[in-house]
């Protein structure tokens, strides 16, 4: 009989988590380590990565802190040279500039695209090659509900998140024959440094909470279940996926409950 209890076990696996210094990346690193993976906690902020790695080790896990800049192909290549090809790659960092499309400057456009889309590209290009050569691996990158639904001020950010999904789907098709799985996770509203601006505005924060079916924001640790699932053998037949973890945000129509 198949050992179902082992499906989520990551013992003996290595996982590179980029953006591990805070938010969803930090929680993902902790979660993967809790299920047995040896985690490379990578972040452009090396001190933050160190803090995450220290926290994992204090709880009995295995972790190594790494400085990595997704904006620099040489930095990504240097990490690959140093650690080899991990079994799991998780990419979480994003940046947003909340402005109408007609007011976005060239510099702001480039800044959003260079991290959110091209940064993800740099990672999957570098580590996807090694996974394909080895014949196994799981690539997980964070998109957003903004890949499907938008609002004023989210145009360029939404474009990068939609672009990430389509890029990963193409990569899934290309690497599937080599045994590598590629999936995107789409969170709803999560309390992270990226959304601090909204949390500081009670009306804005409350409106977002009410939009989800569950009536609240998510915490970073609530993304970890999907990360562990996609990293593990439990998702051995899952690739090219767009996995919504949004509290029902995209399932419900509008922000008004009709009298029934």
pLDDT the model gives residue 200: 83
Which residues of 53-208 form beta strands (DSSP E)? 62-67, 88-91, 137-142, 180-187
Report the distance separating Cα 219 and Cα 221, nearest Å.
Answer: 6
Q: What is the per-residue pLDDT across 201-256, written as a single tens digit (0 to 9) for each?
A: 888 889 888 889 999 999 999 999 999 999 999 999 999 999 999 999 999 887 66
Task: Give me the mean pLDDT over the 54-80 stretch.
Answer: 98
Q: Specify the higher pLDDT residue, 123 or 205.
A: 123
Check residue 23 and give its pLDDT.
95
Q: What is the pLDDT of residue 68?
A: 98
In a domain, 205, yes or no: yes
**CATH number of the domain enclosing 110:** 3.40.50.720
Within a domain: 140: yes
Contact 13, 87 (CB under 8 A): yes
Q: Write down the pTM of the prediction.
A: 0.95
Check if the beta carbon of residue 146 is closer than 8 Å to that of residue 95.
no
Return the C-alpha torsion angle 254, 257, 259, 260, nearest 10: 90
Is 205 among the catalytic positions? Answer: no
Q: Which of 4, 40, 157, 208 is catalytic?
A: 157
Q: How many domains does the chain have?
A: 1
The position carrying tokens 């001190």 is: 47
Give 195's pLDDT tier (boundaries 50, 70, 90): confident
135 belongs to a structural domain: yes
Note whether residue 248 is domain-resident. Answer: no
In a domain, 250, yes or no: no
What average pLDDT does this structure show over 167-177?
Answer: 98
Give domain status of residue 258, yes or no: no
One-character DSSP codes across 165-198: HHHHHHHHHHHGGGTEEEEEEEE-SB-SGGGHHH
Confirm whether 3 is domain-assigned: no
102 lies in some domain:
yes
Name 195's Cβ contacts closer than 8 Å, sequence gap at least 6: 189
Give the tens place of pLDDT for each residue, 80-106: 999 999 999 999 999 999 999 999 999
pLDDT (mean) for 176-190: 97
Domain that holds residue 49: 11-243
Q: What is the pLDDT of residue 161?
A: 98
Q: pLDDT at position 121, please?
A: 98
What is the pLDDT averaged over residues 49-55? 98
Mean pLDDT of 109-129: 98
Q: In this predicted structure, what is the pLDDT of residue 256?
A: 67
């Amino acid at each position: 009989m198949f050992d179902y209890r082992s499906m989520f076990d990551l013992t003996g696996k290595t996982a590179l988590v980029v953006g591990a210094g805070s938010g969803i990346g930090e929680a993902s690193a902790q979660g993967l380590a809790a299920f047995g993976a040896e985690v490379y906690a990578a972040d452009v902020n090396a001190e933050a990565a160190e803090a995450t790695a220290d926290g994992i080790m204090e709880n009995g896990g295995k972790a190594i802190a790494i400085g990595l800049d997704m904006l620099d192909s040489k930095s990504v290549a240097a990490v690959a040279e140093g650690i080899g090809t991990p079994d799991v790659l998780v990419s979480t960092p994003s940046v947003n500039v909340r402005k109408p499309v007609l007011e976005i400057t060239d510099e702001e456009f480039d800044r959003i695209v260079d991290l959110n889309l091209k940064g993800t590209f740099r990672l999957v290009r570098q580590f996807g090659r090694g996974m394909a050569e080895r014949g196994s691996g799981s690539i997980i990158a964070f998109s957003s509900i903004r890949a499907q639904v938008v609002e004023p001020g989210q145009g360029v950010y939404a474009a990068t998140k939609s672009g990430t999904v389509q890029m990963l789907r193409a990569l899934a098709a290309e690497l599937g024959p080599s045994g590598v799985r590629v999936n995107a996770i789409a969170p709803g509203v999560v309390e992270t440094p990226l959304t601090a601006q909204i949390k500081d505005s009670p009306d804005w924060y409350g409106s977002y909470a009410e939009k989800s079916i569950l009536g609240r924001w998510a915490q970073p640790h609530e993304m970890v279940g999907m990360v562990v699932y996609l990293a593990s053998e439990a998702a051995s037949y899952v690739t090219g996926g767009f996995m919504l973890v949004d509290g029902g945000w995209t399932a419900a129509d509008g922000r008004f409950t009709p009298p029934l």
